[in-house]
Amino acid sequence: MTRAWDEFVQTFGNVLFAVSLFVVWGILTLVGVVVDQGKDPQVYFESYAAPIARAIVRLNFDNIYHSPWYVGIIGLILTSLAVCTFKRVIPARLPPLHPVKVDKIPLHASFEAAGDPTSIRERLADALGKRGWQVRKRIFDGTEWTFADRHNWARRGVLVAHIGFTIIAAGTTIYWARGFSGETAILTGQAAEIPETKAIVRLDDFAYKIQPIMTKSGMVYQPIDYVSHVTVTGKDAIPKAMTVRVNHPIDVDGTFYYQSSYGFGMRFLVTHNGKPVAGLPARTLMEGDSFDIPGTQRSVVYERLAPTVDKQSGMPSADPRLNDPAAILAVTQAGQSLGEALVPLRTSIDAGQGWQVTPERYVLYSGFQYRYDPGVPLVGIGAFVLLSGLIVSFYFLPARLFVRVDDAGSGRSRVGLAATTVKGYDVFENEFDRLSATLREQAMT
Amino acid sequence: MKMSLDEVLMITALGSYVLAALALLVYFFSRQEWLVSFGAPLAILGCVAQFAQLVARFELTGVWPLLNLYGSLSLFSAMAVAIYIGFAFKYKTWFAGGFLLALAAIFLAYGVTWNEGTMPPVPSLQSYWAKIHVPLVVSSYAAFMVSFVFSCIYLVKYYAEQYFEGIKVTAAFAADLGGMAGAAEIATNPALSVIANAAGVDLSRSVLRDTPAIQAAAASGNPVAQWLATLPTLAQLDNIVYRAVAIGLPLISIGIITGAMWAKESWGAYWQWDPKETAALFSWIIYLAYMHLHTRGSWRGLRTNWVSVIGFLSILFCYFGVNIWISGLHSYKM
């Protein structure tokens, strides 16, 4: 058991193992970028060769970010992060003071100066202290060593970054455990109850603004604004008038509501042998809804509203503004399409066997997303901590200077200097050269 | 035809970059110092003109200029040049300017092809986050382009060293150099002054540690090796790459976080697994791997520089591939 634990710690505490996990994480993430997510299996079989499509569907690559692979690799990374933190990062915070072989360290220098070793040591310690180095002295085997550390606190940068990553993961987990989200579309003048919160949202009015702009490539109809005026009744049972815009969500009892989409509902008049049929369809249809013609196998599908019909071609225009709207209707017989028609409002189409269908008038609806996420503050704190750790790690270089001063005889001392950093030697080479030159000067004076 | 102020500034920037790139490319091969005196001011002029163009565009139209590919590419090339100029002054790396400025000019010219004129932003882009998130992300891309250029130079020099090691130019001399490792030897060994004279470079400890075969070949008169010897040491190049990534990684991290905050405000969720988000995450993972690998002495150098190159390719995919070819919530081409 102990051996298995040691091997686990050995493996998961290895930086290269962590990097290997990053590689797998990166590849899985890239798969999700390249392969469309959340589509019907048929879409993949139409887009890819059959073996690839089968692999996509069977390996959950069609929903990769929620697949066992993806969740598993995140779990492994978090495990590795935890093991690395305890095995490598925390022990590295305060490396013990011990003597070194000065000339075996790539960053080393030596010089002689007039004076006894004690006074030279004092001069060097004083010079280092004035430059912000933390100076400590220790005696090993009768030889006094001076150790100087700079930015020692920055050794905690990696630890802070790891803690930040863990806090983000914790915040995300809180959403999975306790949060919820959903969507709802509400027709103007109607209300909807949010199942999770029992809040009532009534859409009083929805408006959108589109601006035609002539560009070098032609006319572009640029959306400028989507505005929903709603009345919301939350836990306090007091209706409140609020406005929802893109980028301006509303907060109702901690649940946020976002403007996400809009569309045109349609009211129909259906007649049979010239007589109106009440309650058919039973409600205002949303885009994509359909109703059945009684006594037949026929259905009428309200596909969408064409806000503007091009007068010359008689086809839907690219202009999304409401000028001369028409409904696009399709008729099906036992599930088979019989055809599609562009039907101007208040114009009838013959649905067969004496049935006439008339799109009477459109009603705007607004689509909302709602979300309750109690993990957001924690994710925010985690992001801040992660960034702080990254910045400390990248921009502050902890370095240790080893100074040994020996008696060289004739009233002179020999000074040996060496330096190590947490990021190797090259990164500190120029600074070390400047520092040794300064220390040499100080020792001479 | 009367040109607007922002068009004049854009042409100034593009022209300056092209001329500066040419001058510094010639400098890269010839090492004639007057070319730096010519190219560096042009690079600075182009960079200033570009930032001025972005400000002028904002002032003239009232529309935040970074909300389409044209505007973001403009900031991308301007930031890349600005970061590079900072590096060039600090680390004396004008030799790499030709490549970076050529890339900046290409991206800028490509961006101009996406200029459809002034358009008000769509509702989801009408947010103060646009003024925070976009510059951060684009600046991170720019820093990664700088790291990419230096990584490429690193790899060229590394493989040249392999080549010269392979042909064993003046093998005995190389062996002699290989045995030296310290500053004291450099100061006292006459062989080094031979190299220095032949290659016209200031030798240091790292040079000997890094590329003894190139130094040996340079000393024996090989012109390519003499030219290669004028480049910084591999360790210095690697250090520059690290510092550029150390600018880019925090920026892209903050960019992703601010993007998530914006997405939360705009779409209701701070992470939607949109292709752009996941492509940015992919790039972030690569550079995170770079930083972790860079802590390992045995991986620092060749491997980390390859990771840096792959990282920038992923940035290009994230920037162009996702914006142009993959539809999603971030498809703001125009």
- Burial (Cβ within 10 Å: 0-12, 13-18, ≥19) of residue A238: exposed
What's the rounded Cα separation, in Å, for the pair B146 and B101?
10
Q: Please report which confidence band the pLDDT of residue B326 belongs to, taking 50, 70 and 90 as the band edges.
A: low
- State the average pLDDT over residues A80-101: 82
Q: Give the pLDDT confidence score for residue B209 in this predicted structure.
A: 57
Torsion of CA B134, B138, B143, B145, to 10 degrees: 170
**What tokens appear for A253 in the block?**
């009892």
Dihedral angle sign, alpha carbons of residues B173, B175, B178, B183: negative
Nearest CA in chain A to B115: A216
Task: Say yes or no: B131 contacts chain A, CB-CB below 8 A.
Answer: no
- State the average pLDDT over residues B55-84: 90
**What tokens appear for A205 in the block?**
């009015």
Convert the pLDDT of each residue in B163-184 to its tens digit: 888 775 444 444 444 444 343 4
Q: Give the pLDDT confidence score for residue B330 in this predicted structure.
A: 57
Question: Chain B: nearest CA to A259, how far in angstroms?
Answer: 8
Does residue B77 carry a pLDDT above 90?
yes
**What tokens appear for B180 in the block?**
């030296």
Contacts with B183 from chain A: Cβ below 8 Å: 109
* Cβ–Cβ gap B286/A26 under 8 Å: yes
Q: Give the pLDDT confidence score for residue B184 in this predicted structure.
A: 41
Nearest CA in chain A to B269: A371
Does residue A146 carry a pLDDT above 90?
yes
- State the average pLDDT over residues B180-192: 43
Nearest CA in chain A to B284: A26
Percent pLDDT > 70 in chain B is 84
**ipTM confidence score:** 0.78
A344, amino acid identity: P
Q: Give the pLDDT confidence score for residue B143 in this predicted structure.
A: 97
Across all residues in chain A, what is the average pLDDT? 90
State whether residue A333 is helix, strand or coil: strand
**Are A70 and A172 contacting, i.e. CB atoms less than 8 angstroms apart?**
no
Report the predicted TM-score, pTM, of the whole model to 2 decimal places: 0.82
Q: Give the pLDDT confidence score for residue A216 in this predicted structure.
A: 79
* Cβ–Cβ gap A26/B282 under 8 Å: yes
What's the rounded Cα separation, in Å, for the pair A437 and B32?
32
Report B:217-236 residues touching A (Cβ under 8 A): 233, 235-236
* Cβ–Cβ gap A390/B206 under 8 Å: no
Q: Give the pLDDT confidence score for residue B207 in this predicted structure.
A: 44
Report B:268-297 residues touching A (Cβ under 8 A): 268-270, 273, 275, 278-279, 281-282, 285-286, 288-289, 291-297
Q: Which of B250, B282, B297 sits opposite A394 (nearest CB)?
A: B250
What's the rounded Cα separation, in Å, for the pair A402 and A421?
11
Across all residues in chain B, what is the average pLDDT? 83
Q: Please report which confidence band the pLDDT of residue A96 belongs to, taking 50, 70 and 90 as the band edges.
A: confident
**Are A336 and A347 contacting, i.e. CB atoms less than 8 angstroms apart?**
no
What's the rounded Cα separation, in Å, for the pair B269 and B16?
43
What's the rounded Cα separation, in Å, for the pair A397 and B152?
26
What's the rounded Cα separation, in Å, for the pair A71 and A64?
9
- State the average pLDDT over residues A390-400: 89
What's the rounded Cα separation, in Å, for the pair B304 and B185?
30
Q: Which residues contact A300 (CB under 8 A, 6 or more apart)?
A: A268, A290, A291, A293, A329, A330, A331, A351, A357
- State the average pLDDT over residues B70-86: 94
Q: Residue A357 pairs with which residues in a beta bridge?
A: A270, A349
State whether residue B76 is helix, strand or coil: helix
Contacts with A175 from chain B: Cβ below 8 Å: none
- Burial (Cβ within 10 Å: 0-12, 13-18, ≥19) of residue A322: middle
Q: Please report which confidence band the pLDDT of residue A323 belongs to, taking 50, 70 and 90 as the band edges.
A: confident
Convert the pLDDT of each residue in B269-298 to its tens digit: 788 788 888 889 999 999 999 998 888 878
* Cβ–Cβ gap A371/B286 under 8 Å: no
Q: Please report which confidence band the pLDDT of residue B331 belongs to, taking 50, 70 and 90 as the band edges.
A: low
What's the rounded Cα separation, in Å, for the pair A346 and A83?
70
Q: Give the pLDDT confidence score for residue B110 in this predicted structure.
A: 92
Q: Give the pLDDT confidence score for residue A93 in this predicted structure.
A: 65
Does residue B199 carry a pLDDT above 90?
no
Contacts with B120 from chain A: Cβ below 8 Å: 211, 213, 222, 224
Question: Chain A: nearest CA to B243, how far in angstroms?
Answer: 8
Q: Give the pLDDT confidence score for residue B322 in this predicted structure.
A: 78
- State the average pLDDT over residues A127-156: 91
Q: Give the pLDDT confidence score for residue A76 in this predicted structure.
A: 93
What's the rounded Cα separation, in Å, for the pair A70 and A76?
10
Interface A-B, measured as beta-carbon pairs within 8 A, has a size of 144
Q: Please report which confidence band the pLDDT of residue B328 belongs to, taking 50, 70 and 90 as the band edges.
A: low
Residue B250: closest CA among B134, B139, B147: B139
- State the average pLDDT over residues B136-161: 95
Percent pLDDT > 90 in chain B is 46
Convert the pLDDT of each residue in A345-387 to its tens digit: 999 998 888 899 999 999 999 999 999 999 989 999 999 999 9
Q: Which of A19, A222, A395 sits opposite B292 (nearest CB)?
A: A19
Residue B306: closest CA among B163, B154, B103, B83: B154
Range list of H helices, chain B: 5-30, 33-61, 69-91, 97-112, 130-167, 171-178, 183-188, 190-199, 205-210, 212-219, 223-229, 234-267, 275-294, 302-316
> Distance of CA B113 to CAs A216, B107, B138, Å?
10, 10, 18
**What tokens appear for A430 in the block?**
């120029």
| Residue B181 Cα to chain centre, angstroms | 31
Convert the pLDDT of each residue in A167-181 to its tens digit: 998 998 898 899 998
* Cβ–Cβ gap B235/A247 under 8 Å: no
Convert the pLDDT of each residue in A266-316 to its tens digit: 999 999 998 999 888 888 999 999 999 988 889 999 999 999 988 888 888
Residue A334: closest CA among A292, A303, A298, A291: A298
DSSP A349-395: EEEETTEEEEEEEEEEEEEEEEEE-TTHHHHHHHHHHHHHHHHHHHH
Of the two residues A203 and B124, the one the predictor is more confident about is A203
Phi first, then psi, for residue B76 (nearest 5°) are: -55, -50
Contacts with A84 from chain B: Cβ below 8 Å: none
A241, amino acid identity: A
- State the average pLDDT over residues A202-208: 95
Task: Say yes or no: B122 contacts chain A, CB-CB below 8 A.
Answer: yes
What's the rounded Cα separation, in Å, for the pair B143 and B104?
12
Nearest CA in chain B to A369: B268
Least confident of A58-67, B133-142, B179-188, B323-332: B179-188
> Distance of CA B52 to CAs A71, B12, B39, Å?
47, 11, 20
- State the average pLDDT over residues A322-338: 89
* Cβ–Cβ gap B126/A246 under 8 Å: yes
Q: Any idea what DSSP says for residue A309?
A: B
Which residue in A426, A432, A435, A436 has the most chain B C-beta atoms within 10 A of its own C-beta, making it the best mutation to test that interface? Answer: A426
Contacts with A391 from chain B: Cβ below 8 Å: 250
Which residue in B132, B206, B233, B288 has the most chain A C-beta atoms within 10 A of its own C-beta, making it the best mutation to test that interface? Answer: B288
Q: Which of B116, B285, B294 sits opposite A29 (nearest CB)?
A: B285
Q: Give the pLDDT confidence score for residue B187 in this predicted structure.
A: 42
- State the average pLDDT over residues A21-33: 89
Dihedral angle sign, alpha carbons of residues A117, A122, A126, A128: positive
**Are A405 and A137 contacting, i.e. CB atoms less than 8 angstroms apart?**
no
Q: Which of B129, B183, B322 sits opposite A33 (nearest CB)?
A: B322
